Amino acid sequence: MNLRRVVVTGLGAVTPLGNTVEELWISLLNGVSGAAEITRFDTTKHKTHFACEVKNFDPTNFFDRKEVRKLDPYVVYSMASAEEAINDSGLLTAELDKDRVGVIIATGIGGFSSFLQEAVEYGRGDGTPRFNPFFITKIIGDIAAGHISIKYGFRGPNYATTSACASAAHAIINSYDNIRLGKADVFVTGGSEAGINPAGVGGFNAMHALSTRNDDPKTASRPFDKDRDGFVLGEGAGTLILEEYEHAKRRGAKIYAEIVGGGSSADAHHITAPHPDGIGAMLAMKAAILESGFKLEDVDHINTHGTSTPVGDIAEPKAIINLFGDHAYKMNLNSTKSMHGHLLGAAAAVELIATILALKNDIVPPTINHFTDDPDIDNNLNFTFHKAVKRPVNLALSNAFGFGGHNTSIAVKKFDE
């Protein structure tokens, strides 16, 4: 079977580092931290008082006030980033068969804040079930994809993927596979999350997953640093337009990059901890590279999962060394989570956007907040600490792993005819 080529023709983002792709990219190159004191609720009784919140975002720039009340923030973020990506791609002015345009938007948790709000209000009442008529449609995980398809009339495959912090990567890989197999010509895909609320912070605190560096939030996300103490919770959305190459070429679309492989695996090890030797991570990367048709030594850059957790940041470098051997030391690795925090179900989409821009511009954004080498990590690896690095980037991987042992890796290459 002849598989079709898949290219990226549009990007959109709402993140703690900016509410457009351009703002995100500038902040990444400048090593800006999006972490700050939480403004959404009183954190006095929480162990962690900070997060990477989306800032200066006005939903009424996209919806009227009446409509905003019907939507959870994760849907608002998703639709805003989708609008940027669709406009960027030029799809709205193209002749499209909308039956062959699909939407797959991931989320790890869905309408968490709306669920919490309704539950709290119910608990304060007398037991009478007085719920918002939009309660269910605000919280379900597939609804962002539904809203986008309704707004634009896209009638192709439409659903959500959920695999914790690998959710958006699975959405993108599914979209890529659908196009390769000829089931659609275009996909709007990515992920969104809005979990910065008392239950989100409290829940991750209870499992000791979050940093508690309340005295210095901006340096709290410390991937691969000896003194890392957990991830920094983030929120936002990333959206990509994937398109069959000939379809994009016919309409004269701008092409950012080509997706050439998607690997998935399971650790089959533990509900939250990765396999200590990174076996699942290695399998996902290996599968992505095998599918790409390239060799291991062709990879120039890996945007790692790199969450700043004690165990995860040891396992992933082991996986890279075990798979790549000597070539592991010739690549530029980084973790953009050091800047935008961990966007959970949206993380893989935002990080793939960063990887694509690194490829397009031949610049690898830094891993910030490195102060002390960890003796349990091979520090001969190039983690691109402190400053962005200019270098040729022709083939790159973007990794994403999730609770439950879900592992993904997406291979993307510089576009050429």
Which residues are identified as catalytic?
Answer: 165, 305, 342
**Residue 121: which H helix or E strand, with range?**
helix 112-124
Alpha-carbon distances, residue 156 vs 9, 90, 152, 179, 386 (angstroms): 18, 18, 11, 11, 43
CA separation for the pair 326, 313 (Å, rounded):
20
Question: Which pair of tokens denotes residue 295?
Answer: 């060799």
Alpha-carbon dihedral 135, 85, 363, 243, rounded to 10 degrees = 110
Alpha-carbon distances, residue 157 vs 82, 90, 243, 303, 319 (angstroms): 16, 21, 14, 29, 34
319 residue type, one letter: A
Tell me the three state secondary structure of residue 400. strand
- Long-range contact pairs involving 66-69 (C-beta distance under 8 Å, separation at least 24): 69/134
DSSP letter for each residue of 200-233: HHHHHHHTT-B---TT-GGG---TTBTT---B-B
Q: Which residue has the tokens 């983002």?
A: 13
Alpha-carbon distances, residue 272 vs 232, 234, 276, 311, 401 (angstroms): 16, 18, 12, 10, 10
Contact 232, 217 (CB under 8 A): yes
CA separation for the pair 61, 233 (Å, rounded):
25
371: number of Cβ within 10 Å: 11
215-246 in b/e form (b: 16+ CB < 10 A) is: eebbbbbbbbbbebebbbbbbbbbbbbbbbbe
Question: Which pair of tokens denotes residue 274?
Answer: 């990765």
* 127 contacts: CB under 8 Å, gap ≥ 6: none
Alpha-carbon distances, residue 97 vs 101, 137, 156, 186 (angstroms): 7, 28, 9, 9
With CA atoms as reference, report the closest residue to 175 among 187, 183, 164: 187
